[in-house]
Amino acid sequence: MCGIVGYTGPRQAYPIIIKGLKRLEYRGYDSTGVALQNNNLKVYKKKGKVADLEEAIVGQDLNAHAGIGHTRWATHGEPSDRNAHPHQSASGNLAMIHNGIIENYAQLKNELIKKGYQFKSDTDTEVLLNFIEEIKINNNCSLEEAVRIALKRVVGAYVILLLDKDDPQTIIAARKGSPLVIGIGKGEHFLGSDASPMLEYTKEVVYVNDYELAIIRPDELILKNLGNEKITPYVQKLDLELAAIEKGGYEHFMLKEIFEQPQTIYDCLRGRLDANAGTITMAGIQQYADQLIKANRIVMIACGTSWHAGLVAEYIFEELCRINVEVEYASEFRYRNPVINEGDVIIAISQSGETADTLVAIETAKAKGAIILGVVNVVGSSIARASHGGAYTHAGPEIGVASTKAFTAQLAVLTMMALKIAHIKGSISEERYRLLLKEMEEVPEKVAIALKQNDHIKQLADKYKDARDFLYLGRGYNFPVALEGALKLKEISYIHAEGYPAAEMKHGPIALVDENLPVVFVATKDAYHEKVVSNMQEIKARKGKVISVITEGDTTSTELSLDTMVIPETDEILAPMINVVPLQLLAYYIGVAKGLDVDKPRNLAKSVTVE
């Protein structure tokens, strides 16, 4: 939620900030703004996307060597010019941007109103900014000290960046619960919600931790905790190339990321899985192998698409490892006082590694003695740092808001984890283990074959783009795939879609079926295939439009379907990594056919760092 950028150094700040905001626009695009500092504090902001701001400030004085920028996903207050960030304090001397939610803002606001403050926006950010200025004035202290005092009163999540008119080269920053990266250059510093705004300028970064405050000048970076104790910054080297965050000739990031999946799954397997040797090497899992083998249960916590990956993994772990698995929405798990016993294993799944609900949920479980394993994409992210162990997915940056390659990479990691534990535990035969390793190595190639359906699926999208509703059905390993297919369609096309277990169709959803309803079956060859075929016949008998994802050579499903999307045959445990690909393409092309911005769907943001 929300993208933040900052710069201080010898270069012109505005071009760096505006380019950085464009790279972070997937985090929020309700409104955009910049504050520029050059012996005078100038704030420009505009409802809409970054391009709208650029157009609106043509001809303005943009000369500055320090500045901050923000692209907003609205929480407090509707998207508008006045609610856009940065906000200025009542005196006009301070400017601030903020990612997060201040939960006790109403109490702080009432205190300030009683002291005569008036507010120009509906945001919690303006409240926090004026609270900081009130402390600075009343205590006759530095901005750094005022921030420290204010944040001890604040309840909620935040990353804040502040500029002070009287200290033109300094940016004050602090974080709790939302990500902040500082890039270190030669006589200059860069700030961002992630590393993408600074990739072409530096590969050396510092990930700021919760309850840390940073004082950033061109030639100086000081990190402190809220107790005013200095902390030595831990500098890391970025293993990320600029090309990874550019479209590379594709019309949208989402399409690029769908087509990257043969490579990203291969990258996930590379160096870990060796079918010839019969080995899976995962150091972050091996370290906790005994706890996994002895665990009475595994709890997977996640949100959105990552939750669907967890549902697939539940089938896989229970089948291969014979361990009880529960899959929980992180947002529900954190609030319902769950029963956690010492020795329980929690697997936290998150693309960004910053999902607020998931982060709080694992901290809750950790405090009760659970082992926390993270499956995340972003190196150095909060969930990765909070976990005891785990594995990175190595999918590379995912810019499209609707997750695609992150999902298949998560499935690859979770499947390898299950295979490794099952092999050590002896709950899988050596023959079955070796066969699955061999088939796993073939998944990237089979995904590439599935992608050859691209042009055909584009035609299907044109055919079904005007439908008002969709129903997605699957059984067993393919039930979560149906859920994910429906979610993608909702996110990208704004068409109402439901995913359901195919057998549950008769317990309610079949009432929706008529000649206008497209029903998408994930009907590949597996142990449930004959049952799914029966469900297809029931839909066809009621004149529903049957669309099927089927295994190559399946004539039965073809005869029952108006349209099919064909994928190569693979073991049912591994099939979800392949079966989901046609559904990703279908959602993408329906969104495009409807003229929508598929990379930035309305109301959505990539990384949900607030509740």
The confidence score (pLDDT) of residue 492 equals 94
Beta bridge partners of 392: 376
Q: Percent of the chain scored above 70 by pLDDT?
A: 97
Q: 315-366 pLDDT, tens per residue?
A: 999 999 999 999 999 888 877 778 888 888 999 999 888 877 888 888 888 8
Residue in this structure with the two tokens 């405090």, named with its chain if needed: 367
Task: Please state, in angstroms and rounded to a whole number, the distance separating the CA atoms of residues 75 and 610.
Answer: 9
Q: Percent of the chain scored above 90 by pLDDT?
A: 62
Exposure string over 8-31, b if 16+ CB within 10 A, otherwise e: bbebbbbebbbbbbbbbbbbbbbb
Q: Mean pLDDT, to the nearest integer, of 514-536? A: 89
**Three-state SS for 399?**
coil
The confidence score (pLDDT) of residue 605 equals 62
Q: Mean pLDDT, to the nearest integer, of 491-495? A: 95
DSSP strand pairing (545-551 vs 563-567): parallel
Q: 434-488 pLDDT, tens per residue?
A: 999 999 999 999 999 999 999 999 999 999 999 999 999 999 999 999 999 999 9
The confidence score (pLDDT) of residue 609 equals 47
Q: Mean pLDDT, to the nearest integer, of 508-528? A: 87
Is a pLDDT exceeding 90 seen at residue 284?
no
Is a pLDDT exceeding 70 seen at residue 575?
yes
Q: 366-387 pLDDT, tens per residue?
A: 888 889 999 998 777 788 888 8
Q: pLDDT category, 186, cuts 50, 70, 90?
A: very high
**Three-state SS for 510?**
helix
Instruction: Specify whether the CB–CB gap between 401 and 393 falls below 8 A.
Output: no
Q: pLDDT category, 199, cuts 50, 70, 90?
A: confident
Domains of the chain: 3-244 (3.60.20.10), 253-593 (3.40.50.10490)
The confidence score (pLDDT) of residue 610 equals 47
Distance of CA 148 to the CA centre of its chain: 30
The confidence score (pLDDT) of residue 532 equals 87
- This prediction has a pTM of 0.77
Task: Please state, in angstroms and rounded to a whole number, the distance separating the CA atoms of residues 105 and 502.
Answer: 47
Q: pLDDT category, 527, cuts 50, 70, 90?
A: confident
Is a pLDDT exceeding 90 seen at residue 552?
yes
As annotated, the active-site residues are 2, 606
Task: Please state, in angstroms and rounded to a whole number, the distance separating the CA atoms of residues 235 and 320.
Answer: 40
Q: pLDDT category, 608, cuts 50, 70, 90?
A: low
**What's the mean pLDDT when you consider all of the chain?**
90
Is a pLDDT exceeding 60 seen at residue 179?
yes
Q: Mean pLDDT, to the nearest integer, of 403-409? A: 95
Instruction: Specify whether the CB–CB gap between 248 and 256 falls below 8 A.
Output: yes
Task: Please state, in angstroms and rounded to a whole number, the distance separating the CA atoms of residues 300 and 23.
Answer: 31
Q: pLDDT category, 606, cuts 50, 70, 90?
A: low
Q: 129-178 pLDDT, tens per residue?
A: 999 999 999 999 999 999 999 999 888 888 999 999 999 999 999 998 78
